[in-house]
Amino acid sequence: MRSVDPGEGFTSWREIARRMLGEGVPPQEILWEAERGLFAPSRVREMPTMKLKVPAAFVELAQSVTCHSEPSRWALLYQILWRITRGGERHLLTIASDPDMAKARMLEKNVRREIHKMHAFVRFKLIDTNVETGRERYAAWFEPDHFIVEAGAPFFKKRFANMDWSIFTPKGCVHWNGELLTFTAGIPNNPVENPDALEAAWRTYYRSIFNPARLKVKMMKQEMPKRYWKNLPEADLIGELIETSRERVKAMHEETLRPEKPAPNNAYLGKLKEMSAVKPCGYPPDPALSLAELAAASATCRACPLWEHATGTVFGEGPRNARIMIVGEQPGDREDVAGKPFVGPAGKLLDAALAEAGLDRTTLYLTNAVKHFKWIPKGKIRLHQKPDAGEIDACRPWVLSELKQIAPDVLILLGATAARSLLGKPVQVTKNRGLMESPELAGRVILTVHPSYLLRLPDPAMKAAEYSKFVADLKLAGI
């Protein structure tokens, strides 16, 4: 049994792994020592180094996994490397069901999510100002679960290039002086606990963006886990804002429904807009985000102008392990108000057709190609408007992120907008409806009409015939 120390991270682990492979040492004969710290020295230096040719995807995977705090990560990566290089399993990285790969992907996802949390929840405090240069110096404290400081640092270098700053964590620290990033060992305690003027600004900002009409406490806690609250200046407002949310929403409704308001819907939207002048989310969305995190992030998407006149983002809905995913065009008036897809007249028609096709809606994932309602006013009514190519393309990263998370066996595209979004080109539905060959999207892709098309047909006989064809298309999902 060989006992080796992986050292400070990916670079030292790779060096040791090469040497072990050079000697032909199999995974079961290596004991990787427990993590002793990000900057612990490596001791295995005397063995011959073996030059390896491994897929670039493995290197990317290993760089993420070595940032995880799981002690078994070193052995896991060597096991995968051995299987690829010595076991002849060159396609191992593509086999999602393999136990080793499943665990590695889970660790990779955890690391990426932790980096996302670091970017979202680091709060700098002003420490002092350099008298000679005039540059302000800031510091922040963060408590990550994994060794992600080095991976997350370039974001802050780009975002805060004009000031000097340090981020202290128990798992490594990073410092920027305007020219160079440097990394030092972690420290156990927060050195920047004293409040500053920025904390009041953070609380004012958070209170201004908190929208009680769109409050979902469970989702909010998923996006902003409670373990981060103690280091967030705005956290002491959360309880109060949640408790008073119902009263604030009620007051908004009462104000907008007064008789002197000729267009209550528009006034209501204006009130919501006033309360949701939020900072835009990261775009395109981070591929490591979960479905819940994607939904929360999409609520502040500003990639196209549609958000300005919508009540809010309408994200997809359904189980994470859904076998079938359905993509429509955009939310309508009812969906915009409810914040859920397919709850209006077209949704009710879809429900009936799904039932006839033998498909249970509760087992499906339903979403739209465009996440905001596009409309024009006509009196007190909001008339649906078809999204243009730019708006479809702007929303495409969100739909692709949903598709990646769900990974359905069957993808059903309802109408030309859904087809344009997922297939990346204009498609005539009437000429191409039925099964389509698009294995990069799903094992089976079905193109059919949108149920709103059926609602618009004036002739009852034609409507009945088209409805039967629609049901037949949906039945292709169960074949």
Residue ranges of domains in the chain: 2-117, 122-184, 197-275, 303-478
d(CA 479, CA 473): 11
Tokens of 315: 């994200």
d(CA 58, CA 105): 11
Tokens of 180: 């160079």
The 3 state secondary structure assigned to 301-335 is: CCCCHHHHHCCCCCCCECCCCCCEEEEECCCCHHH
Amino acid at 231: N
Q: How far is CA 65 from CA 76, 243, 337, 394, in A?
A: 9, 40, 42, 32
Q: Is 166 helix (H, G, I), strand (E, B) or coil?
A: strand
pTM here? Answer: 0.47
Q: Is 45 helix (H, G, I), strand (E, B) or coil?
A: coil
Sorted by sequence, the CB contacts under 8 Å of residue 108 that are 6+ apart come out as 61, 64, 65
The count of C-alpha atoms lying within 13 angstroms of the C-alpha of 100, restricted to the half-sphere facing its C-beta, is 20
Phi, psi of 228 (to 5 degrees): -90, -15
Count Cβ atoms below 10 Å from residue 70 Cβ, excluding itself.
Answer: 16
d(CA 406, CA 363): 12
Specify whether the CB–CB gap between 54 and 17 falls below 8 A: no
CA nearest to 395, candidates 351, 453, 341, 330: 330
Give the pLDDT score at 284.
74
Instruction: Using alpha carbons only, give the angle 373, 376, 381 rounded to the nearest 5 degrees.
Output: 90
Q: What is the DSSP letter of 33?
A: P
Specify whether the CB–CB gap between 351 and 293 falls below 8 A: no
Give the pLDDT score at 38.
41
Element (H, E) at 376: strand 375-378
Amino acid at 211: N
Q: Strand 434-436 vs strand 410-414: parallel, antiparallel, or unpaired?
A: unpaired
Digit-by-digit pLDDT tens for the chain (479 residues) are 788 888 778 988 998 998 898 889 999 999 987 544 444 433 444 445 556 678 889 999 999 999 999 999 999 999 999 999 988 898 999 998 899 999 999 999 999 989 988 888 888 887 777 666 667 788 888 999 999 999 999 989 888 887 888 999 999 999 998 889 999 989 888 887 665 444 554 455 445 545 555 555 565 565 566 666 566 655 565 666 566 666 655 565 555 444 443 444 444 344 334 434 444 555 678 777 888 889 888 888 888 889 888 888 999 999 999 999 999 999 999 999 889 999 999 999 999 999 999 999 999 999 999 999 999 888 778 889 999 999 999 999 999 999 999 999 999 999 999 999 999 899 999 899 999 988 889 999 999 999 999 999 999 999 999 999 999 999 999 86
Give the pLDDT score at 237.
57
Amino acid at 348: K
d(CA 123, CA 464): 59
Fold of 303-478: Uracil-DNA Glycosylase, subunit E (3.40.470)
CA nearest to 109, candidates 286, 228, 322, 301: 286
Tokens of 110: 């955890």
Specify whether the CB–CB gap between 8 and 38 falls below 8 A: yes
DSSP string, 177-190: -SS-EEEE---SS-
DSSP string, 210-271: --GGG--HHHHHHHS-GGGGGG-GGGGGHHHHHHTHHHHHHHHHHHHTSTT-S-HHHHHHHH
Specify whether the CB–CB gap between 426 and 416 falls below 8 A: yes
Instruction: Using alpha carbons only, give the angle 395, 397, 401 rounded to the nearest 5 degrees.
Output: 125
Q: Where are the alpha helices (DSSP H) in 93-196?
A: 99-121, 149-159
d(CA 276, CA 273): 5
d(CA 417, CA 102): 35
Q: List beta partners, residue 137.
A: 128, 164
Q: List beta partners, residue 2.
A: 30
DSSP string, 279-306: PPPPSSPPTT--HHHHHHHHTT--SSGG
Give the pLDDT score at 346.
95
CA nearest to 387, candidates 340, 329, 434, 431: 329
Q: Largest alpha-carbon pair distance within the chain?
A: 85
